[in-house]
Amino acid sequence: MTTLTRAELARTIDHTILRADATRADVAKVCREAREHGFYSVCVNPVHVPDVAAALAGSDVATCAVVDFPLGATPSAVKAAEARWVVAAGAREVDMVINVGALKEGRRDEVEADIAAVREACGPALLKVIIETCLLSDAEKEAACRLAVAAGAQFVKTSTGFGKAGATVEDVALMRRVVGPDIGVKASGGIRTREDALRMLAAGASRIGASASVAIVTG
């Protein structure tokens, strides 16, 4: 992984701005950076999706939106409606948060159905499932990954970045082991340097979520 070029590393990154105080000007700056450096996507809250899709039109940078972020605690029908809205507005990828409480209570059928409802609502868009690893035991992480795959998600993702901790090498390796080679693993939360990103990729991540993306690729 240390032999990755700057451009190759950039294509693993979802350039992210999810702050509550993000303005349109802030989001426009992130879009310019994504085009300049060739990041894989720009990941934003739903309200910014139309502006991002317009700003990235004609580029290779995808528009990504979070759904039911950061808690994952709204009803499935609401999550699905939000997913349909962001895809209609131009999102090509959707990052949803699971119902963590339901998972921890062992209501696994409910968790799988929740993910499946969003997967159906995404239509052609790719779905990543945020399991918020910092709140889960290893057994719960494994269960969450298996449920996401069973529900048809294309990716599992470590963290919202709003929890008590972000991605770890150990969690990424666990997730990769559980989902196998054909499902994506996104490491997100606390990744701020090239070295951080390379460690996650070496552990099995196929995508990095970061707000420090420019620093990661430029050093």
Segment 117-131, tens digit of pLDDT: 999 999 999 999 999
Between CA 41 and CA 132 the distance in angstroms is: 21
pLDDT at 2: 60
141 in catalytic set? no
21 in catalytic set? no
pLDDT at 89: 98
Among 14, 68, 79, 95, which one carries the catalytic annotation? Answer: 95
Distances (CA, A) of 42 to 6, 31, 80, 216: 17, 7, 21, 15
In the 3-class helix/strand/coil scheme, how is 143-174 assigned residue by residue? HHHHHHHHCCCCEEECCCCCCCCCCCHHHHHH
What is the average per-residue pLDDT within 183-193? 98
- Whether 207 shows a pLDDT value over 60: the answer reads yes
pLDDT at 3: 84
What is the average per-residue pLDDT within 73-100? 98
Beta strand 126-130 with 155-157 is: parallel
pLDDT at 150: 98
Which two tokens mark 18? 């999810």
What is the average per-residue pLDDT within 67-79? 98
Among 68, 141, 157, 196, which one carries the catalytic annotation? Answer: 157
Between CA 76 and CA 118 the distance in angstroms is: 7
Residue type, 213: S
List of domains in the chain:
6-218 (3.20.20.70)
Name 110's Cβ contacts closer than 8 Å, sequence gap at least 6.
99, 102
186 in catalytic set? yes
- Whether 1 shows a pLDDT value over 80: the answer reads no
Asked whether the beta carbons of 62 and 43 are under 8 A apart, the reply is no
Among 68, 141, 186, 196, which one carries the catalytic annotation? Answer: 186
Taking alpha carbons only, the member of 89, 98, 91 closest to residue 42 is 91
pTM over 0.75: yes
pLDDT at 20: 96
